[in-house]
Amino acid sequence: MSTRPASWGRWTYYGINGCILGFLLGPLIVVAIFSLNPTPYIQFPPVGVTLRWYEKFFASHEFMNSLWLSFRIAAAVVVLSSLIGACAALALARGRLPGARFLAALFLAPLMLPAILTGLALFQLLLTFDVGRPTWALVIGHTLVAVPYVIRTTIAVLADFDRSIEEAAAVLGASPVRVFFEVTLPIIRPGIIAGGIFAFIVSFDQFPISLFLVAPNNETLPIVMFNYMKFELDGAIAAASMVSILLALAVVLAIDRLVGLRATMKM
Amino acid sequence: MESATLAGAVTSLRSEPAAGMRISPIAYLVAPASLFFLLFFVLPFGVMALLSVLTGNPLQRADVTLTLRNYARMADDTLYLESLVSTLKIGAITTLTALLLGYPLAHWLARIHSRLGHALLLMAVIAPMLTGIVVRTFAWIAILSDRGVINSSLAGLGLTAAPLHLMYNEFGTIVALVHIYVPFMVLTLAGVIGAIDERLEDAARNLGASPMRAFVEVTLPLSLPGILAGSLLVFALAISAYVTPYLMGGQQVLTLPMLIYQQVAATFNAAFAGALGVLLLVVSVVLVIAYNHVLARLARREDLA
């Protein structure tokens, strides 16, 4: 395409792609506009600029409690899924493990099977063993959908790096444990960190699993927002949404700086 | 090409042990994940399936027997079949639309030469993907509702006398679902298109093919595995959506996930919810198996060619 002079075909190509980008990003811009518009209902074009919806969001006990809960759960999920996922990725990629393909399919299954079913199944488990709706159940449910991301980003880094570095260290007399801690781990660290960042955002935004596992008065931010939206659509929802959008942007930038988006987003 | 797909990332590692190679100690690191998934993934699904064919909770009552009443109820009432059909229909339209919108963008992403351009484009695709489903559904309410961006603009320009009904129906549901799942399609396709040697298309053009024909006869067929993989992923995600059909569909759209949650939250019939869950699970598993099958066949065909 680069060698040809501009033609209408090329302009159509960019025109279509511009429209698709608009479709993708437009809604996020609309949310930003509505979060600043003073009217307490959906109105367009906006009639002014106000920060009252952000004040309402940050002053609301319900929103703040759920925001805090979502942060704590996401932090626990990051730790748990990074540990489990990085170990599994190493074993799958380096362990010469019989049945590795089956296990890999199992560990990626939470991404392929409907999350709403994972939520339902965990709900049935809690119900059967009569353990109520503890917060750790949310952590476990979110970890199930976060582990595949950590495995993927770690394997992406493992697949790229030269096995001979490890072999050279071994030939030079390093024990397998020393090879692991001094060669393998430093190399895969960016993959684990990127996976951990994904785990954070996956947990922070998780909805279907939380829907089945939250206890009343102990609800995550997306659940509180959903329940709020059933009855009211004022700017507080837009402000809450902006917090989530800005967080997603921060995550994207962080991953890009750490390991590059390209390596981690191969589906 | 294989490595561009979700499962392919792992199969490409060729991790099956070669004959005579001993298992490395690193293999034992798989234990925590195996235990975690056994306890909190395999066991819960087993419990769900088991409870759906029992008359009660065997841990709480002694007189529990096997029953097929939950499945009989599902077969008796056409509501459930209708909702399954409507779920699959919404999933199919969403997948097709996401493919049509995702392909051009994926092609651009795979072929753009500027490093900065690529990074910006990738961010534009991933940022919406990492924004919560509830947030993006709200954005579409703000755009499509009676007082939303589109209807207000049309009325302001004097083009419409009454607002168009853009939401609380299947249309609004599908538009929002496409927006939510199109990034998954773009990323899957971009991986596959990026793996196709650009010089093949250049060669076709140098031999006299128009850019369109070079694309249709060279790149498009080679990207077929990506089309299949992306479509399967989006379909599987779309049929399990709950928030979007609930908020965008009004009472007009009743999908299987909505019925499932209703059984848990409103009717307190966990066993029947489990039976509906098994139905959705069977559909999903069939999809995943079909996807692996088609992908394997395509890989074989490429080996022969």
Query: Out of A122, A152, A267, whose CB is closest to B188?
Result: A267
Task: Give the pLDDT score at B256.
Answer: 92
What residues of chain B lie within 8 A of the CB of A199, using their CB?
none
Task: Give the pLDDT score at A184.
Answer: 83
Structure token digits, residue B61: 């009552």
Q: Give the residue with greater pLDDT, B277 vs A175.
A: B277
- Quickly count: other Cβ atoms within 10 Å of residue B56's Cβ: 14
Task: Give the pLDDT score at B294.
Answer: 66
**What DSSP string runs through A115-144?**
HHHHHHHHHHHHHHTT----HHHHHHHHHH
Contact predicate A57/A63, CB 8 Å: yes
Among the listed residues B287, B262, B281, the one whose alpha carbon sits nearest the alpha carbon of residue B272: B262
Residues 93-122 of A with CB under 8 A from B: 93-98, 100-101, 103-118, 120-122
Residue B59 has what DSSP assignment?
T
Give the chain B residue nearest A108 (alpha carbons).
B7
What residues of chain B lie within 8 A of the CB of A118, using their CB?
41, 44
Cα B146 from Cα B160, distance rounded (Å): 12
Query: Out of B48, B132, B183, whose CB is closest to A124?
Result: B48
Give the tens place of pLDDT for each residue, A145-155. Answer: 999 989 988 88
Q: Give the residue with greater pLDDT, B278 vs A266.
A: B278
Cα atoms in the Cβ-side hemisphere of radius 13 Å centred on B160: 12
Residues 6+ away with beta carbon under 8 Å from B284: A112, A113, A114, A117, B236, B239, B240
Contact predicate B258/A116, CB 8 Å: no
Find tokens 């009552």 and name the residue: B61
Instruction: Give, for all 305 residues of chain B, the pLDDT tens digit.
Output: 333 334 444 444 444 444 456 777 788 889 999 999 999 999 999 999 999 998 888 887 778 888 888 898 888 888 898 999 999 999 999 999 999 999 999 999 998 988 889 988 998 998 888 888 999 999 999 999 988 899 989 998 988 888 889 998 999 999 999 999 999 899 888 888 888 888 888 888 888 888 888 888 888 988 888 898 889 888 988 998 999 999 999 877 889 999 999 999 888 888 999 999 999 999 888 888 877 776 666 666 666 55
Structure token digits, residue A206: 């998780």
CB–CB contacts below 8 A, A to B: 340
Residue A255, classified by CB atoms within 10 Å of its CB into exposed (0-12), middle (13-18) or buried (19+), is buried
Residues 164-223 of A with CB under 8 A from B: 176, 180, 201, 204-205, 207-208, 211-212, 222
How many residues are present in chain B? Answer: 305
How wide is the angle at C-alpha A244 spanned by C-alphas A197 and B249, nearest 5°? Answer: 120
Give the tens place of pLDDT for each residue, B155-164. Answer: 989 888 888 8
Contact predicate B26/A166, CB 8 Å: no
Q: Would the pLDDT of A131 be above 50? A: yes
The reply to whether residue B134 touches residue A222, judged by beta carbons under 8 angstroms, is yes
Q: Would the pLDDT of A259 be above 60? A: yes
**Range from A21-25, A119-123, B183-187, B194-198 carrying the lowest mean pLDDT:** B194-198
Query: Out of B5, B104, B188, whose CB is closest to A20?
Result: B104
Task: Give the pLDDT score at A22.
Answer: 95
Give the chain A residue nearest B58 (alpha carbons).
A128
Looking at the complex, report in whole angstroms how far the Cα of residue A40 sits from the nearest Cα belonging to chain B.
12
Cα distances (Å, whole numbers) of residue B37 to A105, A129, B111: 12, 18, 39
Give the chain B residue nearest A158 (alpha carbons).
B13
Structure token digits, residue A85: 């996922």
Residue A264 has what DSSP assignment?
H
Task: Give the pLDDT score at A20.
Answer: 96
Domain range summary for chain B, segments of one domain joined by +: 23-67, 77-304
Task: Give the pLDDT score at A257.
Answer: 78
CATH of B77-304, one of 3.40.50.720, 3.20.20.30, 1.10.3720.10, 3.90.1150.10: 1.10.3720.10
Determine the longest span between alpha carbons in chain A, in angstroms.
72
What residues of chain B lie within 8 A of the CB of A234, using their CB?
none
The reply to whether residue A114 touches residue B284, judged by beta carbons under 8 angstroms, is yes
The reply to whether residue A26 touches residue B12, judged by beta carbons under 8 angstroms, is no
Q: Which is it for the CA torsion A143, A144, A150, A153, positive or negative?
A: negative
Rounded average pLDDT over A56-62: 93
Query: Out of B6, B29, B182, whose CB is closest to A91?
Result: B29
Give the tens place of pLDDT for each residue, A184-212. Answer: 888 888 888 888 988 999 999 999 999 99
Q: Which is it for the CA torsion A18, A21, A27, A32, positive or negative?
A: negative
Contact predicate A105/A174, CB 8 Å: no
Domain range summary for chain A, segments of one domain joined by +: 1-50, 56-264
Homologous superfamily of the A56-264 domain (CATH): MetI-like (1.10.3720.10)
Residue A32 forms contact with B (CB below 8 Å):
no
Residues 6+ away with beta carbon under 8 Å from B297: none
**What DSSP string runs through A24-72?**
HHHHHHHHHHHHH--SSS--SS------HHHHHHHH-HHHHHHHHHHHH
Contact predicate B282/A138, CB 8 Å: no
Task: Give the pLDDT score at B298.
Answer: 60
